[in-house]
Structure 1
Amino acid sequence: MSVVAQVFVVVAGLFHVAIFVMESLLFRKPSTYQRFLVKDETEMNAARPWAFNQGFYNLFLAAGALGGLIAGGDKGHAIALFSCACMAGAGIVLVASDRRMVQAAATQALPPILALVLAATL
């Protein structure tokens, strides 16, 4: 895998670590939950269990991407790219489910898509 593709894998992995922090650790803060279109504390309390779970999903994707790079070799890179494919798919599902989330979906999906394209072409 090219160094440029690896850079985008790292960016995608670190982004998903940041989302884990927001969804699983900081979700009770209004400035955090409002980023997820949650309007108030009542909605936050209803959404908190799924956000906590979703945060760990994002952490596991990050672990696959970053861990695959650290492991290296064909198998490690395959794990990293599979994680990127899952991240890209989740971003596509996000925008398909709610058009208001287009910016968040692009931020989530663009780095792993670039990693996949660059890994396939370079």
Structure 2
Amino acid sequence: MTAFTVGFTVLAALLHVYIWVLESFRWNEPATRRTFGVSEEDARVLAPMAYNQGFYNLFLAVITFVGLALLKSEHGVGSALALAGTGSMLAAALVLVAHDRSMVRAALIQGTLPALAVLFLLLEL
């Protein structure tokens, strides 16, 4: 397990923990609304959806962290879990930009670390 594999995988998971905090706990704050490009009025309407979506991001991070924890002792299981987590993160970024080309910047922020994690995890199979 290389430092690149661990580093990019940890960073991808931590980014998604941060997104969980933004979506689930800081959604109505002005800085968060600016980050997501949502008005105050829309943020109130979207709050339940954002709260739920935030937890999806947390669960992806947890799956990824568990996979990392198992990589050394149970390499196959750890790799599968880490790839499931980071691959899902990457897929979500691709869906975002495929649905709305104006979201390229957001998709790059969301998907670059998972893409690098997936690359290095695959190289270790």
The alignment's TM-score, normalised by the length of structure 1, stands at 0.92
Partner of 1:32: 32
Partner of 1:49: 48
Percent of aligned pairs with the same amino acid? 41
Highest RCO, 1 vs 2 (Cα 8 Å, sep ≥ 6)? 1
Is the CA contact 1:2–1:119 (under 8 Å) kept in the aligned structure 2?
no
Q: Which segments of 5 or more consecutive residues in structure 1 lack a partner in the other structure?
A: none
Mapping of 1:1-122 within 5 angstroms? Answer: 1-39=1-39, 41-72=40-71, 73=74, 74-122=76-124
Deviation at 1:120, TM superposition (A): 2.1
RMSD of aligned Cα (Å): 1.3
Deviation at 1:77, TM superposition (A): 2.1
The farther-off stretch of 42-51 and 71-80 is: 71-80
Deviation at 1:69, TM superposition (A): 0.6
Letter in 2 for 1:99: R
In 1: Cα distance, 2:93 partner to 2:16 partner: 11
Corresponding residue pairs, total: 121
Deviation at 1:98, TM superposition (A): 2.0
Detail structure 1 runs of 4+ shifted over 6 Å in the superposition: none
Q: Residue by residue, what CA displacement relative to the aligned partner does 1:2-39 show, whole Å, maximum 9, x if unpaired?
A: 33112111010000000000000000101102211212
